[in-house]
Amino acid sequence: MNKTHFRKADFIAIISILLLALLISSSILFFNLGQKSDSILIFHDQQLLVELKLAPTPQVFKFSGTYGKMQVTYAKSGVSVTSSTCPDQICVIHSAIHKDGESIICIPNKVVVKYSSR
Amino acid sequence: MLRNNLNNTRILILASLFTALGIVLYIVESLFPVLIPLAGAKLGLANIITLLSLQLFTPLLTLTILILRVFIASLIGGTFLSLSFYLSLSGAMLSFLVMLFAFKSKFFNIFTVSILGAAAHSLGQIFCIYFLLDNINIAYYLPILLLVSIPLGFFTGILANNLHPYLKKFQK
């Protein structure tokens, strides 16, 4: 009544789970599912200031934060804060971001520059 | 008539005990550190109860035990109507349906039923996250969860299989 031995159907079921896992991971790897468009989101004081679409050539976006003016250079290869009038300059020293979810934060300006590939 | 009533009472008591056991296993499991360093992967000890009641009781009673377990455990854990409650509910529902069909079809042994249930549990959770948070990126995590569900499902299957002989006499 309580079957414990493995038969053909059991192996087929387990292998089909493995195949499903393989199929999903390969489709993610090869077809890049879920990465529809790359864009950069700039938040000031938790409010979305602007959403910039990334282009192959570098472009510059200028805006002003709480403390002073900021300048963001963005391209598909990476996004960085190129100049800021804030005292610490941590956002300028920060290396360029190019992956989904990465961000550059400037505390005096209350600015968050966030990379998004959704 | 009297015999039938006695039997019904016995089933009722056993079902209540199963619900309580499921809740306890669910809570105890969340207190332990996870053996595998993977977020979201856990043993699924409460699934033992579902597997056992699937073998011992009718599907409707199993479903009742399962829903009661999810609701009461979330009320005790303080996650009622939060995201983790919906995750838990959707995972449990899909895993129950898959295990019911896998068990009733009689094609598979109890270990495979458990593995299929574990895989369906992760699938249900991923679907739930997709619909609630509208985030397709969570699909990246699905292959890992599916792979992990095979050994973990097998483990709960062994536990349920070893417990079954002791509870066989309560079968209805």
Over residues A88-110, the pLDDT tens digits come to 888 889 888 887 778 899 888 88
B143 and A25 in contact by Cβ < 8 A? yes
Enumerate the residues of chain B whose CB falls inside 8 A of the CB of residue A5: 109
Does this complex have an ipTM over 0.90? no
Give the percent of chain A with pLDDT over 90.
Answer: 2
Model confidence at A36: pLDDT above 60: no
**pTM across the whole model:** 0.70
Contact B48, B113 (CB under 8 A): no
Please tell me the distance in Å from A80's CA to the nearest CA on chain B: 24
Check CB contact under 8 Å for B149 and A18: no
Higher pLDDT, A30 or B111: B111
* Own/partner long-range contacts of A63-68 (Cβ < 8 Å, ≥24 apart): A65/A106, A65/A108, A65/A109, A65/A110, A65/A111, A66/A108, A66/A109, A66/A110, A66/A111, A67/A108, A67/A109, A68/A109
Residue B171 pLDDT > 90: no
Q: Which of A21, A28, A34 sits opposite B147 (nearest CB)?
A: A21
**Interval B130-169: pLDDT, tens:** 888 877 777 788 888 899 899 999 999 999 999 888 888 7
B68 touches chain A (CB under 8 A): no
